[in-house]
Amino acid sequence: MAANSRLTIAAHALAWMELARRRGRAVLTSDEVAASVNTNAVIVRRSLTDLQRSGLVTARRGHGAGFSLGRPATEITLLDVWLAVSPEPLLALHRTEPNRQCPVGRGIRPVLTDVYDEATEAFRAVLARSTVADVLERMPT
């Protein structure tokens, strides 16, 4: 099973948009963002659309078209980004019901649900402590 990189792509896009803004370019095209991420512009556009839906970026059409931050990078947490681009739960139970005749199958779901809920809350708390501006400040630019 592959790891989900949607948060990474979105955080990269937002950090690049913030750096460009600091350098005098408030609007970037999806192609410019995709070049930085080194991925297909379609993938970046999907991410930017999710971020736009959540108000984290704005889109400009026509002359000077592109994307810009929807609010200051100091006010966009990685939790905001994760919630915008990752609709599925962080951890999930198996889709099929376990064998209820098995002692483990009978009791594993509620136990794992509690563990997964606790892990998800810890994950969310860590993401809530870092902003896009923090990410950018931590890297040598």
| pLDDT tens string 43-52 | 999 999 999 9
Q: Which residues pair with 69 in a beta bridge?
A: 57
Cα gap 82→84, rounded to integer Å: 5
| pLDDT tens string 79-133 | 999 999 987 788 989 889 999 999 999 999 999 999 999 999 999 999 999 999 9
Percent of the chain with pLDDT over 90: 84
pLDDT confidence band for 141 (50 / 70 / 90): low
* Residue in 58, 71, 80 with CA at minimum distance from that of residue 11: 80
Query: What interhelical angle do 41-53 and 30-37 show, nearest 10?
Result: 110
Structural domains of the chain, with CATH:
6-138 (1.10.10.10)
